[in-house]
């Protein structure tokens, strides 16, 4: 499918903001000047600016050019998604941020799903024994588990958050699981978690998930430090 001109323009402007060509609180060109620069009509520019505002990059002003926002403080989920889509390789720091986010939300949606659909959650782990011991196998399985468990939760916000990060989540998981030690730690974690779920001990399952999320952060920080604590 051919990419829309407004999407191309929005991406170009967001890259200019990320690259420092447009600074926070700096005014963009007027719609007329942007239309002349990109050789498109003003409705196309207006559509691009609306997308940039929706995604947390700019603030529109009636009768005046839009202004670049402090996207780290005033952005939203789509701001983060756009930032990471511009990165050819996910920065190590972002993986830490995402792992820290998982500490906060993963135990919660697992608990919710287990309290309401424990057998369905357990059934999701059946294919694990056939998962190949490689990066893609683990990344795909981990995403599938997280997505399906969030879907079994009664709180739709968890699923919406995960859906926002699908492409990025898998890219980060692939980078994380490149280390065989990380795959082995996850394999042991899945087995332990499954044991608690089979026993019906939701509290211990939730604690196991939380502990593994903390361990994942420690493992990644250790990798960032060249294998040293």
Q: Does residue 112 share a domain with residue 214?
A: yes
- Residues in contact with 198: Cβ distance below 8 Å, sequence separation at least 6, in sequence order: 122
The boundaries of the domain holding residue 120 are: 89-224
For the chain, what is the domain count? 2
In this prediction, residue 149 carries a pLDDT of: 97
In this prediction, residue 87 carries a pLDDT of: 67
Walking along the chain (229 residues) 10 residues at a time, the average pLDDT comes out as: 84 88 94 95 95 92 91 82 71 80 93 96 94 94 96 92 84 89 94 96 96 91 70
| DSSP code string of 121-141 | HHHTTGGGGGS-SSHHHHHHH
Q: Does residue 37 share a domain with residue 130?
A: no
Q: Does residue 217 share a domain with residue 106?
A: yes
- What is the pTM assigned to this prediction? 0.73
In this prediction, residue 62 carries a pLDDT of: 85
60, 79, 98 - which closes a domain: 79
Q: Does residue 139 share a domain with residue 69?
A: no
């Amino acid at each position: 499918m051919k990419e829309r001109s407004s999407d191309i323009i929005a991406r170009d402007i967001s890259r200019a903001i990320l690259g420092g060509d447009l600074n926070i609180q700096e005014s963009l060109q007027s719609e007329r000047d942007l239309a002349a620069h990109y050789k498109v009509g003003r409705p196309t520019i207006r559509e691009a600016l609306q997308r940039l505002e929706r995604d947390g990059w700019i603030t529109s002003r009636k009768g005046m050019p839009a202004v670049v926002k402090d996207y780290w403080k005033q952005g939203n989920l789509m701001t983060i998604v756009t930032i990471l889509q511009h990165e050819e390789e996910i920065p190590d720091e972002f993986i830490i941020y995402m792992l820290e986010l998982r500490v906060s939300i993963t135990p919660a949606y697992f608990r919710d799903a287990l309290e309401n659909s424990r057998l369905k959650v357990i059934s999701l782990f059946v294919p694990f024994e056939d998962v190949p011991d490689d990066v893609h196998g683990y990344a795909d399985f981990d995403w599938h588990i997280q997505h399906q468990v969030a879907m079994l939760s009664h709180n739709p916000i968890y699923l919406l958050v995960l859906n926002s990060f699908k492409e990025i989540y898998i890219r980060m998981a692939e980078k994380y699981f490149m280390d065989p030690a990380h795959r082995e730690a996850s394999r042991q974690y899945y087995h332990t978690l499954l044991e608690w779920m089979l026993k019906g001990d939701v509290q211990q399952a939730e604690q196991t998930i939380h502990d593994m999320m903390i361990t994942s952060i420690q493992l990644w920080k250790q990798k960032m430090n060249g294998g040293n604590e």
